[in-house]
Amino acid sequence: MIDILRADITTLRVDAIVNAANSALAGGGGVDGAIHAAAGPELAAELRRHHGCATGSAVLTRGYRLPARFVIHAVGPVWRGGDQGEAALLASAYETSFRLARDEGSIRTIAFSAISTGVYGFPKPAAAEIALGAMMAHEEEFERIVACLFDDASATLYRETLARLRA
């Protein structure tokens, strides 16, 4: 089941949430900043042991003070006009996140932020297609997959895109 929610991802009671991180895994603004603030300083301490993460990949940590037990820190691409492999890198960030979640073994419910669509500038309609395409491909492996959007316009865009992809 794919659910589209307008919510602050740090409040969701799911097994894992997927963060929009940077390749230094250094924390930052946006959803990353909100997740670090809610999880507490232990999250940054665990991330320091990873020495970064390539664009298009992801790492899994515990959730500490979050309601979610795990955080998957996915690194999406910065949008540079679309001819720098951005679409494939964004798809890879989703695929790696799903693989880490499946390999962990106990994750049945997972919520994704809209990776790369904030300060990284990925056009939202194209990002929605990539995100929802990946979610549909993995739908049977999880009890619940949440697409978590932070504003009403994005939630509407995702609902319309999902309806189109399912048609």
* Binding interface with ligand AR6 (CB under 6 A): 8-10, 20-22, 28-32, 34, 76, 113-120, 148, 150
- Provide the minimum distance between the beta carbon of 42 and ligand AR6 in the complex, in angstroms, as a whole number: 18
Catalytic residue among 3, 32, 151, 152: 32
Sheet containing strand 2-6, edge to edge, reads 2-6, 144-149, 109-112, 16-21, 70-75, 58-62
Q: Could you say which DSSP state residue 76 is in?
A: P
Q: Which tokens hold the place of 143?
A: 């009890």
Amino acid present at 121: G
- Provide the minimum distance between the beta carbon of 77 and ligand AR6 in the complex, in angstroms, as a whole number: 9
Whether 3 is catalytic is no
- Provide the minimum distance between the beta carbon of 128 and ligand AR6 in the complex, in angstroms, as a whole number: 10
Q: 113-128 burial, b for 16+ CB within 10 Å, e for fewer?
A: bbbbbbebebebebbb
User: With contact defined as beta carbons under 8 Å apart, do 112 and 90 qualify?
Assistant: no
